[in-house]
Structure 1
Amino acid sequence: MDPGIIFFLLIIAIIVGALLLGYVQQKNAKRTAEELLKKIEIRENTLILPRRMMLVKGRLTLRGYWSSSGRSRSYHVDRKFTGRSEFEGEKIELKPERFTLIMGKDEEALIDVPAYLITEPEFKDILIVPIIPSYDFEIGKGSLEVSKDMEFAHARIELNEWGFSGKLYTTVQKCRGARIELKTKKPKVVEKLAETRESTEFRKEFLREKLVIICHRKATDPRHFAQLLGRKVFIEGHGEYTLELTLDVPFGKDVHDSTILRVEPSEGIPEGTIRAEVVV
């Protein structure tokens, strides 16, 4: 047989083997996570483990992105758990901590969350991720303005407990209209809040639901957070974001005005029940 054909078949076999291995690993990880989910209990803001266990408290960071080489295109996930302290216990107190959940249309994603790694053999590499939303908002300026010749747009912004809201006023003839968007830098994600040729209201309410996520240190896919949140594009949690107003100018350079929105955790624990889900 031609050596080139043998080499080609070998490459195909390696790719298929890697895909099968990844599938089996993810399937086993999901099954173990589901077993733990059945055994935990949540009482108000406390998670009760099946028994006394050794845990490592730290943070989980997932970065997902597509890459291409030649004719193939594949999705890559960089996973990192950073442990900070080890302890033995049978319960976890659920309280607000910094978290970030970001994903764009191209599925480039950043998930940065607090996590408890179980070191017991029965649940090896399983992570418990509590997301308890609580926010403190700060904005650089409360209004944005853009203009081109005699056409303009103006946005007024007001902060509230769960995000912000506002009104967008637009006066245009030749311009296509105005839009206001929430943006992140890394990854580059845009969440459109409003677009109009007249006037409209807009709002951004950050995640309010309390969550406990059971996932896996080596197999969790950040794209599955889209299923959890019910949206393909999302900017949620704490960090520094850009709120940008744009006047859409045809056959010319668009006009922009922007401000920085800073979101930090606050101490208050929101009311409501906690939803527990497996995300692998």
Structure 2
Amino acid sequence: MKVVVLKESGSALALAFMVIFLMIFAAIFGFMLFSVQGGELIVLGFFAFFMAIVFFGIYALVKKRREYGRAQRFADACTFSDSGVSFPESLEFEYGTLELRGYWVGSGKNRSYHVEREFTPSKKSRASNVAFPEEGFKATVAFDGTGKVSVPAVRITDELYRDIVVLFFTDEGEVKGAGTVTVSTDRDSAQVNFRGEGRFITGTVYSSLNKARRVKVALTAKGFDYEKVIGKGKSFEFREPMLPEEKVIMVGTYGTVSPKLILSGFNGETVVMGHGEFRIRAILDIPLRPDIKAEESFRVELRERAEGEREEKEFEEEWGVF
């Protein structure tokens, strides 16, 4: 079982840099103010405007670091296991689904990252622990944080830990489906045979290429404009997990959690995993031409528990036993 505290790396360094830069700029301003004759008001106005921007940036960084610190302290006070989370004390919380959407606005130096968050509670409770939910998740996030995440979560409502969120990514599930994806042009063709094996999507690729350099196999999902390449070559085999190797619990705060931070918890690479419907794509990589693509769908479903396991789980949840 893996525990991840969601926080940005390098935020302390950025804060220190901004403070040092502010001190240097203040020294330069002081020199200009006493050296320039007749332009004091112009210099003062420019300085005030610049200082407002810098102070806003410092305030935003300090606020983020405070939230990261709250999440870290909460995680340090909890006990985590494959069965769930034990809180440091009895807490009020909401259980539900957290949906996140991350996207970039603008271009170049004006490019900025935005996050839409929606937590839909299904029940409220007070307890000193919460069991790992038997529910699926879905994460389709590109390398730059663009994408969506839907995951079962707990949101603390007690004042001390208000808006701390605990996200649950299960490793339980099975890839369902098998088939063939065929992609071709007048002079090139490729066939991708795929099937589910436990939590893996596996398969083989056969091709006859003339103009195309290679065949790529990628994973994507409906509404996701990116793809994760899981194999490339002429004739090869592929095997890609659709679920984590182990249960993953992520801890953060509601105001800072984002697909970008969740991506860092999964080693920072493009993520296409979870439960529900996905697409496997065959791609002919042809020089000086747009890629030729074809795709088929498959599903990842939660494993059904046996009757005895369900009764045991219900007993544990009722009595707060892990």
With normalisation by structure 1, the TM-score equals 0.84
Cα distance between partner residues in 2 of 1:43 and 1:148? 52
Question: Please, which of 235, 246, 250 is the counterpart of residue 213 of structure 1?
Answer: 250
Query: What is the Cα deviation at residue 204 of structure 1?
Result: 1.3
Question: Please, which of 188, 191, 198 is the counterpart of residue 228 of structure 2?
Answer: 191
3-state SS of 1:122 partner:
coil
Q: Is 1:172 matched with 2:174?
A: no
Q: Is 1:148 matched with 2:192?
A: no
Query: What is the Cα deviation at residue 40 of structure 1?
Result: 1.2
Q: Is 1:22 matched with 2:60?
A: yes
Q: Calculate percent identity across the aligned residue pairs.
A: 24
Alignment-derived partner of residue 21 in structure 2:
none
Give the gaps of 5 or more residues in structure 1.
270-280
Query: What is the Cα deviation at residue 147 of structure 1?
Result: 2.5
Per residue, is there more helix in 1 or in 2? 2
Cα distance between partner residues in 2 of 1:82 and 1:262? 24
| TM-superposition CA deviations, 1:44-68 (whole Å, max 9, x none) | 5132111111111112222211111
Question: Please, which of 193, 200, 204 is the counterpart of residue 236 of structure 2?
Answer: 200
Give the gaps of 5 or more residues in structure 2.
1-38, 307-322
Alignment-derived partner of residue 111 in structure 1:
149
Query: What is the Cα deviation at residue 127 of structure 1?
Result: 1.0
CA RMSD of aligned residues (A): 2.6
The worse-fitting range, judged by mean Cα deviation, of 211-220 and 177-186 is 177-186
Query: What is the Cα deviation at residue 268 of structure 1?
Result: 5.0
| TM-superposition CA deviations, 1:116-135 (whole Å, max 9, x none) | 11111111111121222222
3-state SS of 2:120 partner:
strand
Query: What is the Cα deviation at residue 3 of structure 1?
Result: 10
Alignment-derived partner of residue 52 in structure 1:
90
Query: What is the Cα deviation at residue 9 of structure 1?
Result: 6.2
Alignment-derived partner of residue 317 in structure 2:
none
Tell me: CA distance 1:74–1:11, structure 2 relative to 1, closer, same or farther (3 Å): farther
Question: Please, which of 159, 163, 166 is the counterpart of residue 200 of structure 2?
Answer: 163
Q: Which is bigger in relative contact order (C-alpha 8 A, separation at least 6)?
A: 1
3-state SS of 1:101 partner:
strand
Cα distance between partner residues in 2 of 1:68 and 1:4? 31
Q: Is 1:256 matched with 2:293?
A: yes
3-state SS of 2:111 partner:
strand
Query: What is the Cα deviation at residue 251 of structure 1?
Result: 4.8
Give the number of the structure whose alpha-carbon radius of gyration is greater: 2
Tell me: CA distance 1:13–1:185, structure 2 relative to 1, closer, same or farther (3 Å): farther
Query: What is the Cα deviation at residue 156 of structure 1?
Result: 1.2
Query: What is the Cα deviation at residue 98 of structure 1?
Result: 1.9
Per residue, is there more strand in 1 or in 2? 1
Query: What is the Cα deviation at residue 208 of structure 1?
Result: 2.4
